Amino acid sequence: MPTLDDVREIALGFPGVTERVDGHRGGMTWRMPTGAFVWERGPGQADLAALERLGREWPPGEVIGVRTDGQQVKAALLETYPDVFFTIPHFDGYPAVLVRLDHIESDHLREVVTDAWLLKVTKRVGGAWLAEHAPE
């Protein structure tokens, strides 16, 4: 079961990534100059109230937010892996999903964090990284 330390290791393994504490929520955020691609995400009071109105609860365990490549990718992840990925009303219309770290496999976590990072870098940087790290 992956942890926030695993997320940190994956995220900081990419060129140009910085880590900082989110001033709004206090969790860790990993970002490029173009914006965050993965972040620690706990529930706020508004999140809990919105979920309660929907008859849902915030899941136990560590949760991260991860950027997705648009609404179709977001919907596909939510439909294909409903035990791993979820969303909340606050994320309606926003290309990101929430990830239950206690339900995702390590390789899948690496894949979604990598995909999120690739959204925030130039094609040249992303292409060079992919060429260097292509499976043999």
Residues 109-121 have a mean pLDDT of 96
The SS3 call for residue 25 is: coil
Rounded CA-CA distance 83/103 in Å is: 7
Domains of the chain: 4-126 (3.90.1150.30)
Query: Contact, 41 vs 64, CB < 8 A?
Result: yes
**Count of beta carbons in the 10 Å neighbourhood of residue 65:** 23
Q: What is the pLDDT of residue 134?
A: 72
Mean pLDDT of the chain: 93
Rounded CA-CA distance 115/67 in Å is: 8
Predicted TM-score (pTM) of this structure: 0.92
